[in-house]
């Protein structure tokens, strides 16, 4: 029996899915058959959401209707925004504020929707969640800057509208395109810990708000979505240290520190998303401050060429370059993981709906290793 216990469910197949496939040896990721490189270069985040949720890339008419429907769902109930304000005033972490606000959204479902539990209703609820997360996050940021939230602009796409709400300015085309690509890259990734969390919750036939709130909780951990914030904090630590980046990482690895953004449960080679984000980071570096890109590439070169981590199957993952990209877009570090959730809500919803279509309660077993047959002793005799 010992060899059939797979701690962390490593390598265990628990479902079939049409949504995304990862080849960890080839470093390949596809969404419903489309290579991530093609989607990042040629599609918008809205097209990718449509692909994940409806099963095919939209034509122009479908995309226009979908984009309009999503834009119409961006507003957030004032009572929830007041809670977001109080969380910002209390200094709450943005990821925790997002978890709380997302859970509250279920109380503002349109008349008759709240009790609807068919899959079509779940998709409408999921669409509302993905449409409202940008509004919640931008409002949180504006509140903690002492500003009032701006109203969403229905004329802008999801990525552009978020940057507008977040910064108060119309984003430049390069920033908007780069951010839209980052959302595409983070949208789905098989049964990662947060997606699987959402599926476990969905497998009890619980509602989509419970599933997405659980996904946000799982994503917040430093071994998962939280790594992008840790990467940027390491870059700043290096920049503020007296050591040159290469000497810093040599000393850090000699001290046994794990560099965040390296290593992955599935990829044994460089994450294809990291390759694309490295290119975006290089472009932003050319226009702005190349310091962060330079430090990141120095770390990669040392860990790859001198430490030889890839020979052990440890290579850059999606978080390794997203830090320097978001930093160069002027996004605060503690917003990186919430932005990951903004995008991944698309994948969570797609997996929840796909799994519930052919549902099976997820309920694994544990091998009991505690004592057997304990004789009960009443309290007064213990
Ligand atoms: C994401 O699953 C997904 O798809 C996730 C994700 C998605 O899109 O949803 O891709 C997003 O979460 C990316 C990963 C972000 N996390 C990090 O960057 C944190 C740093 N990486 C790790 O802690 C680790 O690689 C995990 C947690 C991501 C994966 O861990 P595993 O599969 O449980 O592997 P492990 O911890 O057992 O490590 C295996 C070996 C160990 O060496 P040995 O002890 O066997 O000698 O790899 C080493 C580890 O020491 N290792 C590292 C390392 N990460 C793992 N060594 C140096 N630096 C690192 N960063």
Per-residue pLDDT reduced to its tens digit, 177-220: 999 999 999 999 999 999 999 999 999 999 999 999 999 999 99
Tokens of 155: 């004329």
Can you tell me the distance from the alpha carbon of 47 to that of 43, in angstroms, rounded to the nearest whole number? Answer: 6
- Residue nearest to ligand 1 atom 51, measured at CA: 263
Q: Can 319 be counted among the known catalytic residues?
A: yes
Residue 100, classified by CB atoms within 10 Å of its CB into exposed (0-12), middle (13-18) or buried (19+), is middle
User: Ligand 1 pocket check: which of 263, 318, 337 to mutate, most ligand atoms within 8 Å of Cβ?
Assistant: 263
Q: In the sheet where 34-35 sits, what is the strand order?
A: 20-23, 28-31, 34-35
pTM: 0.96
What pLDDT digit, counting tens, does each position of 287-315 carry? 888 999 999 999 999 999 999 999 999 99
Cβ(224) to ligand 1 under 6 A? yes
Residue 116 is predicted with a pLDDT of 76
Can you tell me the distance from the alpha carbon of 357 to that of 240, in angstroms, rounded to the nearest whole number? Answer: 52
Residue 81 is predicted with a pLDDT of 98
CB atoms closer than 10 angstroms to residue 346: 28
- Angle ∠(355,357,363) on CA atoms, nearest 5: 45
Residue 113 is predicted with a pLDDT of 82
Buried b (16+ CB within 10 A) or exposed e, 13-32: eeeebebbebebeebebbbb
Of the candidates 116, 131, 142, 166, which has an alpha carbon nearest to the alpha carbon of residue 45? 131
- Residue nearest to ligand 1 atom 8, measured at CA: 189
- Residue nearest to ligand 1 atom 32, measured at CA: 265
> Which parts of the chain have pLDDT scores under 70?
1-3
Q: How many CA atoms lie within 13 A of 204 on its CB side?
A: 9
Counting atoms of ligand 1 from 1, which one is nearest the CA of 262?
60
- Cα–ligand 1 centroid distance for 75 (angstroms): 38
Can you tell me the distance from the alpha carbon of 350 to that of 188, in angstroms, rounded to the nearest whole number? Answer: 9
- Angle ∠(22,23,28) on CA atoms, nearest 5: 80
- Cα–ligand 1 centroid distance for 160 (angstroms): 32
186, 264, 271, 351: the active-site residue = 264
């Amino acid at each position: 029996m010992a060899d059939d216990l797979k701690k962390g469910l490593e390598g265990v197949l628990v479902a079939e899915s049409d949504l995304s496939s990862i080849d960890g040896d080839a470093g390949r990721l596809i969404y419903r058959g489309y290579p991530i490189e093609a989607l990042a270069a040629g599609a918008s985040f809205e097209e990718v959401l449509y692909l994940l949720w409806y099963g095919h890339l939209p034509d122009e008419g479908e995309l226009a209707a979908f984009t309009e429907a999503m834009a119409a769902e961006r507003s957030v109930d004032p009572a929830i925004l007041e809670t977001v304000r109080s969380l910002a005033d209390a200094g709450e972490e943005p990821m925790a504020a997002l978890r709380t606000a997302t859970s509250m959204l279920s109380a503002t479902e349109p008349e008759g929707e709240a009790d609807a539990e068919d899959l079509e209703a779940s998709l409408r609820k999921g669409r509302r969640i993905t449409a409202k997360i940008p509004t919640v996050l931008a409002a949180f940021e504006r509140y903690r800057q002492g500003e009032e939230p701006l109203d969403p602009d229905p004329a802008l796409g999801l990525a552009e509208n978020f940057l507008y709400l977040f910064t108060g300015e119309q984003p430049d085309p390069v920033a908007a395109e780069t951010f839209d690509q980052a959302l595409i890259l983070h949208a789905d990734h098989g049964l990662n810990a947060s997606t699987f969390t959402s599926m476990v919750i969905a497998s009890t036939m619980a509602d989509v708000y419970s599933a997405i709130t659980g996904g946000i909780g799982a994503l917040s951990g430093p071994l998962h979505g939280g790594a992008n914030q840790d990467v940027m904090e390491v870059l700043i630590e290096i920049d503020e240290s007296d050591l040159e980046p290469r000497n810093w990482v040599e000393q850090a690895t000699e001290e046994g520190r794990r560099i965040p953004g390296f290593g992955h449960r599935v990829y044994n080679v460089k994450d294809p998303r990291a390759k694309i984000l490295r290119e975006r980071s290089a472009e932003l570096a050319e226009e702005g401050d190349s310091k962060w890109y330079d430090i990141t590439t120095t770390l990669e070169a040392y860990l790859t060429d001198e430490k030889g981590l890839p020979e052990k199957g440890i290579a850059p993952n999606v978080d390794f370059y997203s830090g320097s990209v978001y930093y160069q877009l002027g996004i605060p570090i503690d917003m990186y993981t919430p932005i990951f959730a903004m995008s991944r809500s698309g994948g969570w919803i797609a997996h929840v709906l796909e799994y519930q279509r052919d549902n099976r309660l997820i309920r694994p077993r544990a091998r009991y290793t505690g004592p057997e047959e304990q004789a009960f002793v009443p309290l007064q005799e213990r």
